Structure 1
Amino acid sequence: MSTNNNKKTYWKDLKEATQTTAKGLELTWEHFQKSIRSLAQKDMENAVSAKNQSFDNNSTSNLGIVTNLYPHEMMPIPDNGRYKLHNEIDDCIVCNKCVEVCPVNCIEIDAIRGTEQVGTASDGSPIRFYAAKFDIDMAKCCFCGLCTVVCPTECLTMTKEFDFSEMDIAKMTYEFGNLKDNEIIEKQKEWDDFQAEKAAKKAKTSKPILKVKPIENKEQIVENDNKKSVIKIKIPTKKVETTEKTETKPKIKIKIPTKKVETTEKTEQNLRLK
């Protein structure tokens, strides 16, 4: 019985596979015939090209074109897709978090601190750095999206632009810096001058440093400039405290047994007689 059931299922599966394959081939053959007829009737110059972008559904139905007219027609792109990165530099506070979290080091930032607050982001965050360099190398990017997650002002986002291929790989690096070459030199000089001025003010207001000489003896004589008074500095020594309270154990006196001479009346009489 089991062998008969296996034979039935085998032929049933084979029949279904043949029918589904034939249905797919039928659809393919139908499109193939339409394309041959349209090419025989019309020249390919009449088809919609990149130069001639005016088309409608009726014009393309008879040309044998059954695929999307990319890039003029595209499939809908999901909102949560990960594609080309974009940085809204006006909202960037140059916090360097995207550089630290990037697993492939595709983001490079050179920041110059301003002498005062540079600006304010759209969310109210203060901007204190200039983005002298903010480059994103999309050739290295692994599209993980971590940089967009850690961005505090949400200025770094992924757009829906997915086709940004280039013949030259150097063109895959996109620059978002907000300073020109001469401005970079100027802002860096301002910051260096500010730091130098700050250090000079600190040096004027700071107290002189007193040098302490090492003490060799227990007593050292320190004389002032006029040598009028002599100050003796004594090094405190730790005194060993001795406590007189000691625990005394009770002494045990051992008594030596002595033999007592018993005198009786008989002995006394004998002595008298003698």
Structure 2
Amino acid sequence: MFKRLINGFTTAWKGLSLTVKHLFASNADRKITTVSDDNYFKQLEGTNTIQYPKQQLPVPEVGRYQLDVEMDDCIVCDLCAKVCPVNCIDIESIKATEAIGQTSDGTTKRLYAAKFDIDMAKCMYCGLCTIVCPTECIVMTNQYDKTVFQLSDLTYQFSDMPPEVAAEKRALFEQQQAEKQAAKLAAMQKKEGEA
């Protein structure tokens, strides 16, 4: 019993002395170095943490952070939403009655983006959406600090098409399809009448 008591005090004393040693060891700020630095894993002096936001870690070139979409280059192909393993990309497209422009790489745009939302709260930062994009309009930026107070603020809306304009574009496409169908039926009836 007495041996256990001494062992308990000895163990507590060792732990407490280690804590006190670290408490008064150093108040210097940690120097920011990259992982490729030879001395990165040998940093034994100073604090273990950086003083954020005054100090920030360097962002690696291959880091996977915040998604961004350049809507002028988007052809609304929906490949990014299909490949997303967590379904954080929500796209709604409207077919145009004619070509509506070109992307920066010369691809013809034939669809309007009525809705292009990315829920960054669901995103697992895998980067698959950036790989499959044929026009490279969806990219990962070096922004990683997107602190918000409401979870809904993490859903980014990249399409700026108002609902009224979207309804107008849908109506125009439906009217064009109805006209094509009517012309097709008229041609079939004319062909049957001649036969």
Distance, in Å, in 2 between the alignment partners of 1:143 and 1:111 is: 24
Q: What residue number does 1:201 align with? A: 183
Q: Alignment partner of 1:153: what SS?
A: coil
Distance, in Å, in 1 between the alignment partners of 2:54 and 2:100 is: 43
Q: Alignment partner of 2:139: what SS?
A: strand
Find the structure with the greater CA-based Rg: 1
Distance, in Å, in 1 between the alignment partners of 2:147 and 2:185 is: 56
Whether 2:150 is the aligned partner of 1:155: answer: no
Q: What residue number does 2:102 align with? A: 120
- In the alignment, which of 38, 49, 52 is matched to residue 70 of structure 1? 52
Q: Alignment partner of 2:26: what SS?
A: helix
- In the alignment, which of 64, 78, 90 is matched to residue 72 of structure 2? 90
8 Å Cα contact 1:148-1:156 kept in structure 2: yes
Q: TM-score with structure 1 length normalisation? A: 0.53
Query: CA offsets per residue over residues 151-203 of structure 1, 9 Å max, x none?
Result: 00111011111111322111110001131122111111111111111111111
Query: Where in structure 2 are the equivalents of 1:39-188 lying within 5 Å?
Result: 68-188=50-170
How many equivalent pairs are there?
Answer: 160
Give unmatched runs, 5+ long, in structure 1.
1-17, 36-64, 211-274
Q: What residue number does 2:36 align with? A: none
Letter in 1 for 2:108: P
- 1:73 Cα deviation (Å)? 2.7
Change (3 A) 1:159 1:31: same
Q: Alignment partner of 1:132: what SS?
A: strand
Q: What residue number does 2:26 align with? A: 31
Q: What residue number does 2:173 align with? A: 191
- Structure 1's consecutive aligned runs of 4 or more residues displaced over 6 angstroms after TM superposition are none
Letter in 1 for 2:128: L
Letter in 2 for 1:102: C
Letter in 1 for 2:100: V
- 1:79 Cα deviation (Å)? 1.3
Q: TM-score with structure 2 length normalisation? A: 0.73
Q: What residue number does 1:213 align with? A: none
Q: CA RMSD in A?
A: 2.8
Letter in 1 for 2:65: Y
Letter in 2 for 1:30: A
Percent identity over the alignment? 44
Q: What residue number does 1:272 align with? A: none
Give unmatched runs, 5+ long, in structure 2.
1-13, 30-46
Distance, in Å, in 2 between the alignment partners of 1:68 and 1:75 is: 8
